[in-house]
Amino acid sequence: MPVAGEARRPMYNNLRRFRAHAKISRAELAATIDVNVQTIGALERGSYSPSLYLALLIADALDVPLIELFGLADTVNSNRTGTH
């Protein structure tokens, strides 16, 4: 956990890529996990970080491992393709 004044590590986000691959619209995904479509848009833009619960719901709905959808960008995960 960052100490006050420390920079936060960036997070990668592959939601848009996996949702498009699954051929599911934002509205369909939102309805499946019972959130507003605006929430999906904010997640895809990176302007909102999901709670662990929401991230797990999305991973389950898209049938994708959570670590492939979201995670902390670091040397271990730097080969993942997503937004940072």
- DSSP assignment letter at 83: B
Return the pLDDT at 2: 57
Question: How do the pLDDT tens digits run along the chain, 84 residues long?
Answer: 556 666 778 889 999 999 999 999 999 999 999 999 999 999 999 999 999 999 999 999 999 999 999 998 874 544 455 544
- At 77 the pLDDT is 46
- Cα angle 17, 21, 25; round to 5: 85
For residue 74, the model assigns a pLDDT of 77
For residue 73, what pLDDT is reported?
85
